[in-house]
Each structure stands twice: as structure tokens, then as C-alpha cells.
Structure 1
């Protein structure tokens, strides 16, 4: 409503963001989560057989069941470039997205298959992968201009050149399901539907698996942060990782196009007025002093460029519970979530940590009451 009023009564839309309230009311649950393993930039959590697989830089690593906290993971495979996405099929085929190298498949009938092009275009750095069935892979390409590691630049340039593809692994034929998306960054299969998180437009979209470039449905919109990876939850629910917060300052910077583009040219990335996976580590950052600290103590309610947020969704993909690490917390940049061994594991890429909480004994519907 506020956006509609701004468009009706002013020449320029106000730089507003939705408040975190109701189901998304801030808490400290992520900071209370137990550390599982510390390592650089964990990401892409998936269940691989009975193991938990995930990426760290160029490596795919696995944790075996009943691993005690702090146990080092086992190296499964090392690649020449950074791993950007993982997916596992019902036949235990592992699909691995690689920065600048396309997609490789490991195990099963497609062991050794490489997809270096999708639809005749180099498949550089997919942002998310999911198997629709044993022979069909859904691929999200975040941007036609910027790789996954350049997500901040893609946002500040206000790009909308992402796409979603359906790839037949038997023939390597690719069908475009959607284009012109603002950084599709998570994907989930729900029957004959594909659910995609569109980061820069702060929403979840639904696509028909059988359609070609159909108009997507909006499932959930106007989120208070930038949505990322999606994963299956028990009882038909799901998990959504929100990897960075929105703020009025960043929304304002995005509207000042001349200033924003000059900032990208002249200022180092770590000092941009842009969301990040971890902030508060340098006095050179955009938000400092009295805005974030009182008597040297970081205020939990301070404006922040990084945050920790995981959202539990019900069967209708509506939020029913949220897990937070606030401005002064130590679990920022939640990029991936996975249920494993009666617990839920969170990847905090901002703080180089996997952490875990026991699964709530109640269903998502009950948790919302």
C-alpha cells in the first residue's frame, strides 16, 4: 500500500522496505544454534545419500551421519574453479555448478557428463540447480553479465538478465522456462511446478514445468531481504535462506543511478553502499559510529548491511517461523539450509560456519500458532 500511495502522490517512489514483524519478528535463534563445523565460505547444503554434502570454495565436502560437532568433513571432490551450486537426483547423481565452467555430473547413468552450454550459451556459473526427475535438470542462471560472486555488482547495476532452464540430460536439449529475471538464486520442484527465488525483486515465483517462457506466478513478495536458496522441508514445507537484508540506505542508493555507477567504478567493493554477507569489520564501511554503536557496543537493532535470516515455509510456501542473527550477531550471510538427521543445518557464509538446531517436533502449521 505504501508503494502505491508513493506512486500516486509523488513523482518518485519512496525508499521504503517492509518491517520485520509477525512471523519475521527478530530473535536470536541462529546465534543459539550449535556450531557444527567451521570452514571458509560453506554453501550449497544437500543431502547426498545418508551424508550431508556441501561446498567450500573449489571443494565438495561431506559429513557422515552422527558426526560429532567440530569433526572435519571428508573431501569428496576438488575442482579447478569455485563450486556455485549442487543438486542430488533420486538416483544419487550429483550435479555440480562451477564458476565459469558450466555443470558437471557425478555418479549414476550420467557420470562424467559435462554441460558447458545451455541453449547455445555458455553456462557460466549457475546459481541454483534441482532435478525435476532422474533425467531432467533445472538450472538457474543468475545473470547474463555477472557471475555468482559478482552478485553485489549485479544488484547495484539493477540487472534483470537471469534465466531458468529445463535441461534433458539424455539429449542435452535445453528449454527456457523464464527469462528477464532479476537474479534467480534458488529453485525447488513442487510436482509440475518450479519455484524460483528472484533475489533483486525480493520474491518467490512459480513456473509451469511444461510451459515455455510462460508468465510466472508470484507466490510470495515484498520480503525484507534478498531471498536465496530453497530446500525441501518435512511435511511438505520448505526452507528459504535470506542471505542479506534490505535497507532504506541501499534502496536510496539504487535510485541515484549516477552516484551508484560512479561508486562501482571508483570505490573498492567492500566499501560499497550495498548488502553484504558480513559487515561491521572495518571503520571504512558506509555505516559507522553512532548509527550502529553505543559506548562501543554494537546495537542489535542497528542498521546493517548484513544479517542472518532463515525462514521456514509451510506447504503453501507461506512463512510460519523465522530464525535470526541480528546486527550484533555471529551467524550472518545464511546462504543455504538443509534438514539432516532430525536437525536443520544452516550455512553461514558470512561467518564461515555450519551450525545446527534440532527440528521442532511440531509441524510448520503448528509452529505458526
Structure 2
């Protein structure tokens, strides 16, 4: 239409989403993966002291393949992040803003109360993602719907408690990994990875098809990246409609917002998401979805080279964390209440 260039000035920014193609070509690897353990909302997988650790709500679990998860410790609030240092120190962050390193509580700077991810550079450097200056980690959907970008990255000395801000105005930093002299950060609401070198922040991987979460080192170099929910055009459209979002936040229960989700399909009150509903009793795997399961393998340059999926008609959605351990990739499907394992041999 010849008037489109003029009308576009009033339509706002076009809604465009990177397709699931190339290294992100859909498959059913997560749906077919071995169910190591059914557990409520597994999250924050790390290797510590030769053991696999993960969180479930306010409980910290240890897990031995072939065995049953055992509670190592329980806290007074849900665990929002875990990290292990080269020297064996364990850092535990809670949804209420508390941080413990080697069982000692650390006093954090004012405004740092939303720790979504952590990574040790060495025993004297702990990098913290402060997802939001106004919300807790569990309120991530509200932070997205308010279109906030008040997150920050910090470096903390656990011994002294001294903290230095390395970057601010981040749109919900949700994953961090030390890579030599650089720090890699996953910025969820801008669908990208950033590299911080010295005082310079540069985009590293942009236009991801989902919302990135935790990063984990991969054997042979590179990293694993969890993407906890898919992007879709309906959510992107709603993010442009400020009045609608304000009314939705005020009047609609949070589980039924037009927003990304770790799991979907449990209630007929959920937004239908266009083609995401069942047609003649069948949920199409390629249909739009509020939730999805996705893990990406990144090479040494942090370029995606492979991915594992649980598609729209699957159940192993909401992957927030992965870890390599004992020759397997362990995957926490928080939305699917499942701890999965995939062999990395070959």
C-alpha cells in the first residue's frame, strides 16, 4: 500500500521476532530426555564439592545420579541464585534480598535486593545480577510488564563485603558468567547477551528468540544458555500498549496476564494465544505458546551452534538453569517440575 510509509509513523514500532531457525531449529530433545527426577520447580543447578546441587523453592538439594535428591538446607525464603567458588565456597541468594556466602550473611548495598544470578571469578570476586531495583526475582513478570530497565551488575568481595557497581540500567540481567577478563551477562527483556570488559559494555549476541536466563560453562569451551520463555507477537504487541497493560496489571490475576510463562495449558482462563489453543483436540507443536523449553549451546565466541527444545505441545518448559556433571547435561525444567539428563558423549 502506497500510504504504508506514512501510516507507519502512527502505528509505532513493528513487531518482529527472530525465528526459530539455524542453530535454533526446533526439535524434541528435551521432551525425549531422560527424566532423572520429578521435583517441584528445580532451579539454580550448579556443581559444588563434586556434587550436583539445585534449589526447589526454599530448599537446597544435593543429587547423586541414580539416587534421590536430599535436602541439604532450608531457608526462610525461596532461593533465587546459587554459585560455587573455585575454593569451594557456596553463595546462596534469597528472594527476600538476603545473600549468604560460606554460611555468612553479607550486607548488600542499598537497592540490591533482587539477585537473579551469580558467578565467581575467583574466591575474592563474586559477580551479582541485580535484576530490578523495584521488584523481587519472583516478580519478574511484573517487571517485564512495567517495561523496567533498572537492573545492574555488581562485583562483590565476600571477605570484606565491599561491592562495586559495574553496569546499570539493564533490563533484568538474569545470567552471568566469567569469561577470562570479561563478564558475560544475559539481559532478559532486551533478549541479548552483553560482554563487559573493563568499563565497556558491548552487545555480544542479540535478537534471541526467547528470554535468556542462566549461563553455565560448557566442556571444551563456550557455554550453555537457558531461555526460560519464548517471545511471541501477542506479548510484544501488548508491551506497546501502555494503557492496556496498566489495566491488565490492576484488574487481571497474574497467572492470566498476556505475558510469558514458565508453564501453560493448566487453565482455560489463560489467554488463548491465537493458534496456541487446541484444534480438534490437538495442540500443534509449532503453535504460538506462552511457555517453551529451550537450551542453547554457545561456542567459544558465544555464537549458538545447537539447541534442545520442548515445543509448544510439550511439557518440559520453563528451563531456567542447566549444568554439566558426570558426562551429562542436567536441565532444570522449572515449568515442567522435572530434572532432566542428556548424555554429552560424542
TM-score bracket relative to the smaller structure: over 0.9
Residue 221 and residue 7 in structure 1: after superposition, are their counterparts in 2 closer, same or farther (change >3 A)? farther
Offset of residue 297 of structure 1: 1.4
Q: Secondary structure at the match of 1:280?
A: coil
Offset of residue 6 of structure 1: 8.6
Offset of residue 192 of structure 1: 1.1
Indicate yes or no: 2:8 matched with 1:25: no
Aligned partners of 1:196 and 1:282: how far apart in 2?
A: 34
Residue 288 and residue 156 in structure 1: after superposition, are their counterparts in 2 closer, same or farther (change >3 A)? closer
Q: Secondary structure at the match of 1:62?
A: strand
Q: Secondary structure at the match of 1:262?
A: helix
Q: Secondary structure at the match of 1:260?
A: helix
Residue 250 and residue 302 in structure 1: after superposition, are their counterparts in 2 closer, same or farther (change >3 A)? same
Offset of residue 178 of structure 1: 0.2
Q: What are the superposed Cα offsets for residues 185-211 of structure 1, whole Å, 9 maximum, x if unpaired?
A: 000000111000000000000112xx3
Indicate yes or no: 2:328 matched with 1:343: yes
Aligned partners of 1:289 and 1:6: how far apart in 2?
A: 28
Residue 252 and residue 59 in structure 1: after superposition, are their counterparts in 2 closer, same or farther (change >3 A)? same
Unaligned 5+ residue runs, structure 1?
107-111, 362-369
161, 172, 190: which one aligns with 2:179: 190
Residue 288 and residue 132 in structure 1: after superposition, are their counterparts in 2 closer, same or farther (change >3 A)? closer
Per the alignment, residue 150 of structure 2 pairs with 161
Offset of residue 125 of structure 1: 3.3
Answer yes or no: is the 8 Å Cα contact 1:102–1:123 preserved in 2. Answer: no
Q: How many residue pairs are counted as aligned between the two chains?
A: 342
Q: What are the superposed Cα offsets for residues 319-358 of structure 1, whole Å, 9 maximum, x if unpaired?
A: 0000000010021000101001001000000011100110
Q: Secondary structure at the match of 2:342?
A: strand
Answer yes or no: is the 8 Å Cα contact 1:102–1:125 preserved in 2. Answer: no
What does 1:4-15 correspond to in 2, within 5 Å? 10-11=9-10, 12-15=12-15
Residue 167 and residue 223 in structure 1: after superposition, are their counterparts in 2 closer, same or farther (change >3 A)? same
Offset of residue 291 of structure 1: 4.6
Per the alignment, residue 262 of structure 1 pairs with 247
Unaligned 5+ residue runs, structure 2?
none
Q: What are the superposed Cα offsets for residues 85-124 of structure 1, whole Å, 9 maximum, x if unpaired?
A: 0000011100000111421012xxxxx3212323xx1542
Q: Secondary structure at the match of 1:252?
A: helix
Q: Secondary structure at the match of 1:30?
A: coil
Residue 6 and residue 186 in structure 1: after superposition, are their counterparts in 2 closer, same or farther (change >3 A)? farther
Answer yes or no: is the 8 Å Cα contact 1:103–1:123 preserved in 2. Answer: no
Residue 307 and residue 161 in structure 1: after superposition, are their counterparts in 2 closer, same or farther (change >3 A)? same
Per the alignment, residue 138 of structure 2 pairs with 149
The CA RMSD over aligned residues, in Å, is 1.7
Per the alignment, residue 56 of structure 2 pairs with 56
Indicate yes or no: 2:78 matched with 1:82: yes
Residue 15 and residue 288 in structure 1: after superposition, are their counterparts in 2 closer, same or farther (change >3 A)? closer
Q: What are the superposed Cα offsets for residues 22-69 of structure 1, whole Å, 9 maximum, x if unpaired?
A: 1101110100100011111100000012110010011110012xx21x
Deviating above 6 A after TM superposition, structure 1's stretches of 4 or more consecutive aligned residues are 5-8
Offset of residue 170 of structure 1: 2.5
Per the alignment, residue 44 of structure 1 pairs with 44
Offset of residue 288 of structure 1: 6.1
Per the alignment, residue 94 of structure 2 pairs with 98
Q: What are the superposed Cα offsets for residues 157-205 of structure 1, whole Å, 9 maximum, x if unpaired?
A: 0000000000122321111100000000000000111000000000000
Residue 230 and residue 6 in structure 1: after superposition, are their counterparts in 2 closer, same or farther (change >3 A)? farther
Indicate yes or no: 2:188 matched with 1:199: yes
Q: What are the superposed Cα offsets for residues 106-156 of structure 1, whole Å, 9 maximum, x if unpaired?
A: 2xxxxx3212323xx154231001111111111110000111110000001
Answer yes or no: is the 8 Å Cα contact 1:81–1:101 preserved in 2. Answer: no
Offset of residue 289 of structure 1: 7.9
Q: State TM-score, norm by structure 1.
A: 0.90
Answer yes or no: is the 8 Å Cα contact 2:216–2:322 preserved in 1. Answer: yes
114, 125, 132: which one aligns with 2:121: 132
Offset of residue 7 of structure 1: 11
